[in-house]
């Protein structure tokens, strides 16, 4: 097999340029994986380089395994002697070899994120620090950022000496590292930091690996942080044969510590470096590439390239302006239906958004039309922890005897009610034949300590107050009171992590959902709202593992789809609000949009809403500045509300008559069943159905994939 066969000119040059430093700027869809694997094969077969002398680094196990498989197929030989792995896997091998030099056993254990958080919690306890103010996840994130920059505890302590919170964080970092060493454990960030430290302080040990790795290749170089940069720099110093592959226009992980300067300054660090640009795209139509090129040229911090393709221009990019986010979602659904009619499958399509909170309205509209979907890189909206937590509060307010809800939220957020306290309450409740909530209200009689009684009483007092609110305020206002009175909002704000911010956004969407329900169903109460959500979120009515894909643009990196819907294109949402006054942040947002555009192969939709519900309030939006930069204007068929409503009625599955008690129906998954109750739910109906296979199920008439059995008269 000819290794160079089928490669274009720049690809061939990248494969055959084996000596000295090389930067390959690989545009989206330009075949970079093929170039990397062919380059390894070329070194071994044509240059007679021993597999033992090659190090290839990538970021994910999936990418590493794919590279190994391709190399093995190219050479028709196993890749056992080659180091083709992730940064972390390579560093584990190095550290196992030299662990004794840094005071570790070679059998050290590796802590994952949950292990690290548990250890930080223990450190906080020993340091007498309140986890409410020093959130373990936030502390771990601060420590991780320090390690990414190769900042050890002593240096961190000096740098933070003038700031009170900084001094406390430094103390936590110091104690955390001490405990890790005592346990002979390392976290993921340690693996890189300690490998660099091992090399810098052990010249003989470093020399062994510098001699061994004559040729080093690094994939996704734009995503490297400072520690990874230093590791590669020190390992490649002897032979200088370092090849890095990446795309500065796809550097979107600055929030994780990725430093775009690593790729932008490559030739400054290595003046004799050669740069090869892969600009031919094999994925998308020229219209899509033109949009991407038009956008990214507005960034100043980039190498500069222009994607092109031999694929025809293709369909114009469709731009849709909606009155609000609900109309935006309805438009997307109407287009999905039209595309399916034209022969596209649901798995050909992806809906991409900036934040996970945007998925809620889309999910509801897809469910309304019985369109299967998958949320990738995140949970369905009503399955997210924070949503389930607040819904559990609402269920307990509605029914204080709900033990499942009680157990979920009695110590959420943390209020000092641990397993031992709950065990005592449960024991007391079972003895008296009362609910857990009733038992909690009689904490004095439940054999609890004074501290336990204080914590439990604090909880029941909050709940009593919220229960008292139930009949006197709207559902949305009640949710806001739950967030405030329970300390749930404060706990997320104090965490100060991107995850916590995303959770706050999701809770804002829950308030939006309540306001919409109130508007559509003014006569219905909390019980009906909870029932409606239970029906909407019934994932049993949707097929798993298939359907249209929904995900954030971050999650979509590296993927491709024939059809992409890029939604929520408004200033403040995409680009995100915190980037509006930050030039570096704005450039990263633009790169993120570039990634979103280049996921599309044939058809790209861009949508935005003039008004969007945010935390229960209608916010008027300005179209994203990126739309103007892309150079598109509304040119697709634009519907008004009545048009969309009519289109929905045309495409909506029609039942074969009205559902009524005693009617026999067929469910797509559960087979035959009989309706035993029909309850009006405003614009929907709740159907209680006894199925032969699974027993009683409560389903939404609008969502459930039901057919009326033959023989039933409508």
What is the phi-psi region of residue 434: left when phi exceeds 0, alpha when psi lies from -120 to 50, beta otherwise? beta
Residue 449 contacts residue 483 (beta carbons within 8 Å): no
Strand order across the 215-218 sheet: 83-86, 54-58, 215-218, 242-246, 22-26, 274-278
Report the distance separating Cα 209 and Cα 101, nearest Å: 15
Q: Which residues contact 414 (CB under 8 A, 6 or more apart)?
A: 131, 132, 491
485 is catalytic: no
Report the distance separating Cα 677 and Cα 687, nearest Å: 6
Q: Which residues pair with 679 in a beta bridge?
A: 686
Which among 33, 210, 286, 651 is annotated as catalytic? 33
Residue 82 contacts residue 36 (beta carbons within 8 Å): no
Return the SS3 of 699.
strand
Which among 219, 248, 328, 389 is annotated as catalytic? 219
Neighbours of 218 (CB within 10 A): 25
- What DSSP designation does 272 have? T
| C-alpha to C-alpha distances, 436 to 415, 452, 461, nearest whole angstrom | 17, 15, 15
Report the distance separating Cα 679 and Cα 531, nearest Å: 11
Q: Supply the DSSP string of 436-455, one letter for each residue.
A: HHHHHHTGGGTT--HHHHHH
Q: Which residues contact 399 (CB under 8 A, 6 or more apart)?
A: 405
Which among 599, 601, 612, 647 is annotated as catalytic? 599
Residue 552 contacts residue 505 (beta carbons within 8 Å): no
Which among 135, 148, 187, 220 is annotated as catalytic? 220
Within 487-538, where are the H helices? 488-495, 498-520, 526-536
Which among 58, 74, 169, 250 is annotated as catalytic? 250
Report the distance separating Cα 58 and Cα 273, nearest Å: 21
280 is catalytic: no
181 is catalytic: no
Angle between helices 113-126 and 164-182 (to 10 degrees): 110
Residue 672 contacts residue 709 (beta carbons within 8 Å): yes
Q: Which residues pair with 699 in a beta bridge?
A: 687
Return the SS3 of 239.
coil
Q: Which residues of 98-125 are buried (b: 16+ CB within 10 A; e: fewer)?
A: bbeebebeeebeebeeeebbebbeebbe
Whether the ω angle into residue 513 lies within 30 degrees of 0, i.e. cis, is: no
Report the distance separating Cα 99 and Cα 106, nearest Å: 5
Return the SS3 of 318.
strand
Return the SS3 of 709.
coil
Q: Which residues pair with 274 in a beta bridge?
A: 22
32 is catalytic: yes
Catalytic residues: 32-33, 219-220, 250, 599
């Amino acid at each position: 097999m000819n290794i160079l066969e089928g490669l274009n000119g720049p690809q061939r040059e990248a494969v055959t340029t084996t000596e000295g430093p090389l930067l390959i700027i690989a545009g989206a869809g330009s075949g970079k994986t093929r170039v990397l694997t062919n380059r390894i094969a070329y070194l071994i077969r044509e240059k007679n380089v021993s597999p033992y002398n090659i190090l290839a680094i990538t970021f994910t196990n999936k990418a590493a395994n794919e590279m190994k498989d391709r190399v093995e197929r190219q050479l028709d030989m196993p890749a056992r002697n080659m180091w083709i792995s992730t940064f972390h896997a390579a560093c584990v091998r190095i550290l196992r070899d030299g662990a004794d030099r840094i005071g570790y056993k070679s059998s050290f254990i590796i802590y994952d994120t949950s292990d690290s958080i548990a250890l930080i919690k223990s450190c906080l306890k020993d340091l007498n620090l309140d986890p409410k103010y020093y959130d373990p996840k936030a502390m771990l994130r601060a420590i991780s950022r320090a390690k990414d920059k190769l900042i050890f505890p002593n240096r961190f302590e000096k740098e933070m000496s003038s700031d009170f919170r900084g001094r406390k964080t430094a103390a936590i970092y110091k104690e955390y590292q001490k405990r890790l060493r005592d346990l002979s454990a390392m976290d993921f960030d340690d693996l890189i930091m300690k490998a660099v430290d091992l090399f810098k302080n052990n010249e003989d040990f470093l020399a062994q690996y510098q001699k061994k790795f004559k040729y080093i290749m690094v994939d996704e170089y734009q995503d490297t942080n400072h520690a990874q940069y230093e590791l590669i720099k020190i390992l490649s110093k002897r032979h200088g044969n370092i090849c890095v592959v990446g795309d500065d226009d796809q550097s979107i992980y600055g929030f994780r510590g990725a430093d775009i300067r690593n790729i932008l300054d490559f030739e400054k660090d290595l003046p004799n470096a050669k740069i090869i640009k892969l600009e031919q795209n094999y994925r998308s139509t020229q219209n899509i590439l033109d949009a991407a090129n038009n956008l990214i040229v507005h960034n100043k911090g980039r190498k500069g390239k222009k994607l092109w393709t031999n694929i025809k221009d293709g369909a114009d990019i469709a731009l849709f302006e909606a009155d609000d986010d609900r109309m935006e979602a309805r438009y997307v659904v109407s287009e999905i239906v039209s595309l399916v009619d034209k022969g596209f499958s649901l798995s050909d399509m992806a809906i991409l958004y900036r934040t996970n909170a945007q998925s809620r309205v889309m999910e509801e509209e897809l469910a309304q039309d019985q369109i299967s979907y998958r949320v990738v890189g995140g949970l369905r909206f009503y399955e997210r922890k924070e949503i389930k937590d607040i819904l559990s509060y609402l269920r307990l307010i509605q029914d204080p005897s709900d033990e499942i809800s009680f157990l979920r939220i009695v110590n959420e957020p943390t209020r000092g009610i641990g397993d031992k306290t709950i065990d005592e309450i449960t024991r007391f409740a079972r003895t008296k034949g009362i609910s857990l909530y009733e038992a909690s209200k009689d904490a004095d009689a439940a054999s609890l300590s004074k501290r336990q009684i204080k914590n439990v009483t604090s909880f029941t007092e909050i709940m009593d107050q919220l229960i008292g609110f139930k009949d006197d305020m709207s559902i949305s206002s009640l949710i806001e009171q739950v967030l405030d009175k329970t300390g749930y909002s404060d706990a997320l704000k104090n965490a100060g992590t991107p995850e916590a911010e995303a959770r706050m956004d999701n809770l804002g969407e829950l308030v939006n959902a309540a306001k919409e329900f109130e508007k559509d169903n003014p006569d219905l109460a909390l019980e009906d709202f909870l029932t409606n959500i239970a029906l909407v979120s019934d994932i049993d009515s949707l097929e798993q593992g298939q359907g249209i894909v929904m995900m954030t643009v971050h999650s979509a990196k590296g993927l491709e789809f024939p059809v992409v819907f890029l939604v929520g294109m408004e200033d403040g949402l995409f680009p995100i609000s915190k980037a509006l006054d930050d030039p570096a942040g704005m450039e990263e947002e633009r790169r993120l949009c570039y990634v979103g555009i280049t996921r599309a192969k044939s058809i790209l939709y861009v949508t935005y809403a003039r008004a969007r519900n945010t935390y229960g309030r209608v916010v008027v939006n300005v179209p994203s500045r990126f739309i103007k930069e892309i150079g598109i204007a509304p040119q697709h068929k634009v519907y008004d509300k009545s048009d969309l409503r009519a289109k929905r009625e045309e495409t909506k599955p029609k039942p074969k008559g009205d559902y009524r008690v005693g009617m026999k129906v067929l469910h797509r998954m559960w087979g035959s069943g009989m309706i035993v109750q029909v309850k009006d739910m405003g614009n929907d109906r709740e159907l209680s159905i006894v199925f032969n296979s699974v027993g009683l199920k409560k389903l939404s008439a609008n969502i459930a994939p039901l057919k009326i059995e033959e023989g039933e008269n409508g």
